[in-house]
Structure 1
């Protein structure tokens, strides 16, 4: 069995850290991921650098990443200006975030969910015209810090709208780390029904120590791709008490020991997580780098 692990550390992993890394350091991070065997990387975010200063210099990063056959770099965009920047920078795919709760959407993106879906329609059409695949990440799919429980029917309707506009994949994101495996199973089935045939990607945070269980449940439900961040860094700067993503190296350990192939060197990623913690001045939350693999 094989599954794809999408490395989100260069974007989601860095956007909430106090220390902003230089474009050169971010290129070095991405290069380490590629050399470890990672083939999908969320490299940059084309958002206003005044709101997310850690993501400044996206064009410089894209100009310096290693271009290898089979390696795909995605960029996060929220509007047409961001899309234009992403296309000019040479991204291989575009990731558009649609937040499932209005309160968080307004705080995070300055528009309601319905307004963001309208923007998605335009972004999707323009990206298709440029020959670049565009996908949707449904944020706060498992719960919102301001509105509480996210109605699963709302998530399914956003997925249907995303698929209707041609999303090449749909990601369900547990932005604040409140989801549990039962929710993963329920949402997976609802979204498959709403967007039949569209590959599903999952993005989990380990805020309440359920991220890895959720990832393995998503795998059982047919996940095409799982997001993870080297070292376990990450979080949303607009979500109170947000903590890190599931760690790539710890997820790889669970996958590889379960007989799932990823093509990624687990030990190399663990070394990268430790290296990244040194750059950021905070220790990685990943455990594999401390405990080591088994068998050793």
Structure 2
């Protein structure tokens, strides 16, 4: 008898939501730290393949200063290649300031994201501002984006540890999240930028946010897998009611300003776990794995995703 292709046996886990939204960050967060320039046509093809695989929300690019992140200097070209597929409320782009918002509005996008920090050191390194100054910079961005009918997300990095400052007090993270919520962000993504978070830490932070009136209905989670904890932390958040999970196809990713930030939670690993738990994602795992294999070929290196290695090996 020939060996059968492995598929997860479906056993519904009642502690998890019936469905989740995967917020795919591969084209932006996944590629931003690649040293070799990825052609705009390849990036656009990557987005198309992700959408065809069933990923409804895909963050396409970032309108940052090209000197900061050279890999994303072709944002306008990528969106031009995508046409209507690259616009709308489910195709967010990252904007650091009003100038970035101007470019995003000119490009006709339907959603933007700002990228804040829970720590002073990373705020300085990433935005050359204090945390308070960065929040002041975001205020007109959020106001103008809403006035133009755009959906706005607020990222908070270093929520679970900082490579320069060490442990980050939960109350400090909650304060920044509350400020972003007060600015009017429609959704807040909790970032474990260097992957040091653990499940108990996730619980503590969600408790603190609930006490501040920030419920799981406006939260997303963004875990890096530096220490192999990304999926466990995601499950802890889902069991608390979070239904939006950031992930990167193939486990691509990193942060140009934090060397200890390795790849994101691999979308394939998340989908495998959700499929087995009977949680709806809308994603075709075979198509997603094929996309990861294709992108790995473009980048000239293997995917770190365990599911990709198992199914495509």
User: TM-score scaled to structure 2, two decimals?
Assistant: 0.90
1:266 to 1:66, Cα distance in 2 relative to 1, 3 A: farther
CA shift, 1:192, in A, is 2.8
Q: What is the aligned partner in structure 2 of residue 271 from structure 1?
A: 290
Match of 1:23 in 2: 40
Q: Is the 8 A contact 2:93 2:109 kept in 1?
A: yes
Aligned equivalents of 2:212 and 2:275: distance in 1? Answer: 31
- Residue 310 of structure 2 aligns with which residue? 291
- Once the two structures are TM-superposed, the CA of residue 127 in structure 1 deviates from its matched residue by 0.7
Q: How many Å separate the matches in 2 of 1:220 and 1:87? A: 37
1:41-68 deviations in Å (ceiling 9; x for gaps): 1101111111211111101111222635
What is the CA–CA distance in structure 2 between the aligned matches of 1:160 and 1:216, rounded to whole Å? 24
- 3-state SS, counterpart of residue 59 of structure 2: strand
Structure with larger Rg: 2
> For 1:81-125, what per-residue CA distance to the aligned partner results, in whole angstroms no more than 9, with x for missing partners?
011111111222111111111111111111111111111111111
Kindly indicate whether the alpha-carbon contact (under 8 Å) linking 2:117 and 2:157 is maintained by their aligned counterparts in 1: yes
Q: CA deviation at 1:196?
A: 3.2
The runs of 5 or more residues in structure 2 that have no matched partner are 1-17
* Residues 251-281 of structure 1: per-residue CA shift (max 9 Å, x gap): 1001111111010111111111111111111
Match of 1:155 among 151, 170, 173: 173
**Aligned partners of 1:193 and 1:38: how far apart in 2?**
32
TM-score scaled by length of structure 1: 0.95
Correspondent of 1:204 among 209, 223, 228: 223
Tell me whether 1:75 sits opposite 2:97 in the alignment: no
Q: 1:189, CA displacement in angstroms? A: 2.0
CA distance in 1, matches of 2:248, 2:35: 17
- How many residues are aligned here? 293
Residue 20 of structure 2 is aligned to residue 3 of structure 1: yes
- The answer for the alignment partner of 1:182 in structure 2 is 200
Does residue 42 of structure 1 match 2:46? Answer: no
Q: CA RMSD in A?
A: 1.6
| Aligned counterparts of 2:65 and 2:150: Cα–Cα separation in 1 | 22
Runs (4 or more) in structure 1 with deviation over 6 Å come to: none
- The alignment partner of 1:237 has SS state of coil
Q: Secondary structure at the match of 1:105?
A: helix
Unaligned runs of 5+ in 1: none
Correspondence 1:228-243 to 2 at 5 A: 228-243=247-262
In structure 1, what is the Cα distance between the partners aligned to 2:309 and 2:214?
A: 41
Q: Report the Cα offset of residue 70 of structure 1.
A: 8.1
Task: Determine the C-alpha separation between the residues in 2 that align with 1:12 and 1:188.
Answer: 24
How much does 1:286 deviate? 0.6
C-alpha distance in 2, partners of 1:209/1:42? Answer: 24
CA drift at 1:224: 2.6
